[in-house]
Structure 1
Amino acid sequence: MKKSVVLLSGGLDSTTCMSVAAKAGYEIYPLSFDYGQRHQRELEAAKAVAQFYQVKEHRIITLDNVGGSALTDPSIQVPDYAEDDQIPVTYVPARNLLFLSYALGYGEVIGAEAIFIGISSVDYSGYPDCRPEFLEAFQKVAEVGTKAGANGQRIEIKAPLLHLSKADTIRLAGSNGAPLHLTTSCYRGGERACGTCDSCILRLKGFAEAGVADPVPYIEN
């Protein structure tokens, strides 16, 4: 069976990616990261999603916290959603670059044909490492900087949500039977989602546009 590494945060997007990989017939090897994020609940969510899919192995990698983000520095407050063109303080420096690098190395070890990452350039917070040009550049790195690539064994970086709205992602998850009830998206990391941070607002907007009720609890309900 063909193998894939899935970057699994425990959120809506990465869980939808997991469902896409499963439906495509891949043997899934999810990879999650503890990078000092304040929303540690996502790691428990990732474990629950991995268990749902009965994966062979789920690795959680611990990375040193480089700070510089509201998600990793307790002195920086997570802001409420604001619609502007600025890169928000919830941006984590080089996060997807680090995650994909680990996934690429792991993929070489297990003989994976693909790496799935749940980035979107449509309904997102404006992070530079969620853009198509970043993905294209990393694919080139994967091809020229690995033994697999040098030997013509291309590991494809797949981002099936890249051009999907959040509503379309939710519809895709529903059609694939993805366990969105197990996911968490809130940046503040409380037992109930705050409903006001970037991630919560984008999630709620997506569910509203998809005409589906969000199965996770929020502070106001």
Structure 2
Amino acid sequence: MLKNEKAVVVFSGGQDSTTCLFWALKHFAEVETVTFNYGQRHSLEIECAKQIADELGVKNTVLDMSLLNQLAPNALTRDDIEITQEEGSLPSTFVEGRNHLFLSFAAVLAKTAGARHLITGVCETDFSGYPDCRDTFVKSLNVTLNLAMDYNFVIHTPLMWLDKAETWALADELGAFDFVREKTLTCYNGVIGHGCGECPACKLRQAGLDKFLQSRKEGDRS
């Protein structure tokens, strides 16, 4: 744990950000979360984030980012846009500039709260080609934020080089496996826990879970 250090977790209540929240609680003396309302299909995502933060005893701030829906229509915010992904192109769930804006606003909140550390669950291993999930983007933004705000932020990305099976393994190491499995919302159709089983997010989550459980079973036998 970093004594006297405070962190802000960019938090959606999904598998990745909840795993990051448990990681932050292990490593920092004080932790709070920030959740963004950008007109996502299911307001349940925001409620789920609030409930998890409350259960874990951390402050949760919800910021209005509804302008994103106006600027960048996408399948995560519009019921009339189908969730699709064509080979060689970004999926229709991609929201232009989302992580850039989320981390920038989280930084303003963090500085006001006296926190130097920002934690986000972006990942370059299972990132569907999203440009703002790349390590080079995060490192670049980290430098930009420090210069723009004259403040020494450190952006942490605990999941950057992990696939979904390894993310489940991390949750297990943190003693959060059952919590993440049962209480997080990853599903594009708004089903908490195991999800709908049909959307791309659910399929990715389940494939990672199956791989992790299989490796754990094989480890128990060895």
CA gap of 1:170–1:190, structure 2 versus 1, over 3 A, is closer
Amino acid aligned to 2:161:
H
TM-score by length of 2: 0.86
1:77 pairs with 2:82: yes
Kept after mapping to 2: 8 A contact 1:170/1:207: yes
1:168 pairs with 2:162: no
Kept after mapping to 2: 8 A contact 1:39/1:190: no
Mapped partners of 2:198, 2:63: distance in 1: 29
* Higher-RCO chain (CA-CA 8 Å, sequence separation at least 6): 1
CA gap of 1:190–1:162, structure 2 versus 1, over 3 A, is same
CA gap of 1:124–1:196, structure 2 versus 1, over 3 A, is farther
Mapped partners of 2:52, 2:125: distance in 1: 24
Kept after mapping to 2: 8 A contact 1:39/1:186: no
Instruction: For residue 83 of structure 1, report the CA deviation from its aligned partner.
Output: 7.9
1:68 pairs with 2:73: yes
Instruction: For residue 190 of structure 1, report the CA deviation from its aligned partner.
Output: 4.3
Mapped partners of 2:51, 2:128: distance in 1: 26
Give the number of equivalent residue pairs.
204
Q: Give 1 or 2: higher helix fraction.
A: 2
CA gap of 1:167–1:190, structure 2 versus 1, over 3 A, is closer
Matches within 5 A, 1:174-193: 174-178=172-176, 179-180=179-180, 181-190=182-191, 193=195
Instruction: For residue 96 of structure 1, report the CA deviation from its aligned partner.
Output: 0.5
Kept after mapping to 2: 8 A contact 1:167/1:210: yes
| Other structure's SS at 1:194 match | coil
Mapped partners of 1:26, 1:196: distance in 2: 39
Mapped partners of 1:118, 1:26: distance in 2: 20
| Other structure's SS at 1:6 match | strand
1:49 pairs with 2:47: no
Identity %: 37
Kept after mapping to 1: 8 A contact 2:189/2:196: yes
Alignment RMSD: 1.7
Mapped partners of 1:84, 1:42: distance in 2: 28
Mapped partners of 1:159, 1:167: distance in 2: 17
| Other structure's SS at 1:33 match | strand
Q: Structure 1 unaligned runs (5+)?
A: 149-153, 213-221
1:39 pairs with 2:39: no
Mapped partners of 1:35, 1:60: distance in 2: 10
TM-score by length of 1: 0.87
Mapped partners of 2:87, 2:47: distance in 1: 32
| Other structure's SS at 2:8 match | strand
Q: Give deviations 1:90-138, integer Å, cap 9, x for gaps.
A: 0011111111011110111111120000011112222111111111111
Amino acid aligned to 2:42:
H
Mapped partners of 1:37, 1:63: distance in 2: 10
